[in-house]
């Protein structure tokens, strides 16, 4: 399908991103899967190529692109090789960066943004708690004033980049009496007394992306570690979740598209009963249906991506994009596993790993059920 949201600048950037992926990611995917983390050298090389600061102004070392289509291109090229690498780099560049650019003081920006652009400072964001899941307003991690400082206590879980991040944006309750209006964001840096990481979580998929539990025991934070204004954390998160969700939708479809393309080549070559398995009517019709669903979904996501570029994407539309793309991604990849037969169940095949990687997209960034709840509320139900 011909897409209309990109111009010549995006096409040139895609070639650069593709070259980076082919040179740096593709040859090392197996190693990243085995060690459950992406080498820091990858981050540093991405920094040298200007790929980590797309959301960051030039005066702090970023590209200052101010055009989410460049983020889209980078995510798509990463996802065509491995969804977990896209997730890890995306949390850093697409999710955390806007918080710091929009909310930090000048001193804070000078402290963190240049290192984010070079890959010397790797970041994550800690919202989810063991008892909270998608219910961000119910978080229990708390920060209590002590003079000009804050004392942070609590825990977070399922934190992408959590095992190796140098700085993590943490949501904590600072006024229990105010509910969602009593949440504040803080920057917690590696090595702070009382900040500990639990085990590297053993996930079903997304293995190259390190994920961890985080624990905070009387972590002393100065006023300079508060991000934005006191009590505004929940609002800040709600304002930025649409970008996280459209970013997830972009990655979901690119991931499914990459697996579909590989499967299409496989069914043309794999033979059974004297002919290529793609020639059997059932398989041919199945692939026709998947191709159509991918193209229809791509048109939808591209339209919403352009709305986001113009600053017009609503939270409800972002929820639609997130849940729909996750469902389509899982449907397409599951069908591709079936088309591979027994080989589709072998982890040395990319389709099997992609199948495992895709399942979490129905859960993270707000579960698909929560997305439907948001959409339903918008319908007045």
Instruction: Say whether 269 is catalytic.
Output: no
Bridge partners of 219, per DSSP, are: 152
Per-residue tokens: 19: 């070259």
Q: What is the 3-state secondary structure (H, E, C) of the chain?
A: CCCCCCCHHHHHHHHHHHHHHHHHHHHHHHHHHHHCCCCHHHHHHHHHCCCCCCCCCHHHCCCCCCCHHHHHHHHHHHHCCCHHHHHHHHHHHHHHHHHHHHHCCHHHHHHHHHHHHHCCCCEEEECCCCCCCCCHHHCCCEEEEECCEEEEEEEEEEEECCCCCCEEEEEEECCHHHHHHHEEEEEEECCCCCEEEEEECCCCCCCCCCEEEEEEEEEEECHHHEECCCCEHHHHHHHHHHHHHHHHHHHHHHHHHHHHHHHHHHHHHCEECCEEHHHCHHHHHHHHHHHHHHHHHHHHHHHHHHHHHCCCCCHHHHHHHHHHHHHHHHHHHHHHHHHHHHHHHCCCCHHHHHHHHHHHHHCCCCCHHHHHHHHHHHCCC
Contact between residue 176 and residue 140 where contact means Cβ atoms under 8 Å apart: no
Contact between residue 226 and residue 185 where contact means Cβ atoms under 8 Å apart: yes
Cα–Cα dist 248/361, whole Å? 8
Cα–Cα dist 233/228, whole Å? 8
Catalytic-labelled residue, pool 244, 262, 289, 348: 244
User: Which residues are annotated as catalytic?
Assistant: 244
């Amino acid at each position: 399908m011909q897409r209309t949201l990109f111009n010549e600048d995006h096409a040139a950037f895609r070639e650069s991103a593709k070259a980076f992926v082919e040179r740096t990611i593709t040859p090392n995917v197996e190693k990243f899967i085995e060690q459950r983390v992406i080498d820091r050298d990858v981050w540093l090389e991405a920094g040298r190529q200007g790929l980590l600061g797309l959301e960051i102004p030039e005066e702090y070392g970023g590209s200052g692109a101010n055009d989410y289509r460049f983020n889209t291109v980078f995510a798509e090229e990463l996802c065509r090789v491995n969804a977990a690498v896209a997730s890890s780099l995306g949390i850093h560049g697409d999710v955390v960066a806007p918080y710091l650019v929009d909310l930090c003081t000048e001193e804070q920006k000078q402290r963190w943004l240049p290192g984010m652009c070079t890959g010397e400072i790797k970041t994550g964001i800690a919202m989810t708690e063991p008892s909270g899941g998608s219910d961000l307003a119910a978080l229990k991690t708390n920060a209590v004033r002590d003079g000009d400082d804050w004392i942070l206590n609590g825990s977070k879980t399922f934190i992408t980049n959590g095992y190796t991040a140098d700085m993590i944006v943490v949501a904590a309750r600072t006024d229990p009496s105010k509910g969602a209006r009593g949440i504040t964001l803080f920057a917690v840096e590696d090595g702070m007394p009382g900040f500990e990481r639990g085990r590297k979580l053993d996930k079903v998929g997304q293995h190259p992306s390190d994920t961890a539990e985080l624990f905070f025991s009387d972590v002393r934070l100065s006023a300079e570690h508060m991000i934005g204004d006191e009590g505004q954390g929940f609002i800040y998160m709600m304002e930025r979740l649409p970008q996280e969700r459209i970013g997830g939708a972009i990655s979901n479809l690119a991931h499914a598209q990459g697996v579909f393309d590989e499967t299409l080549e496989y069914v043309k070559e794999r033979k059974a009963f004297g002919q290529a398995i793609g020639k059997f009517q059932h398989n041919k019709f199945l692939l026709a249906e998947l191709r159509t669903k991918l193209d229809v979904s791509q048109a939808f996501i591209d339209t919403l991506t352009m709305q986001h570029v113009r600053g017009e994407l609503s939270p409800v539309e972002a929820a639609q994009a997130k849940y729909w793309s996750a469902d389509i991604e899982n449907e397409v990849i599951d069908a591709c596993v079936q088309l591979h037969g027994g080989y589709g169940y072998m982890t040395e095949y990319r389709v099997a790993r992609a199948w495992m990687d895709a399942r979490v997209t129905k859960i993270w960034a707000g579960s698909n059920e929560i997305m439907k709840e948001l959409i339903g509320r918008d319908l007045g139900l």
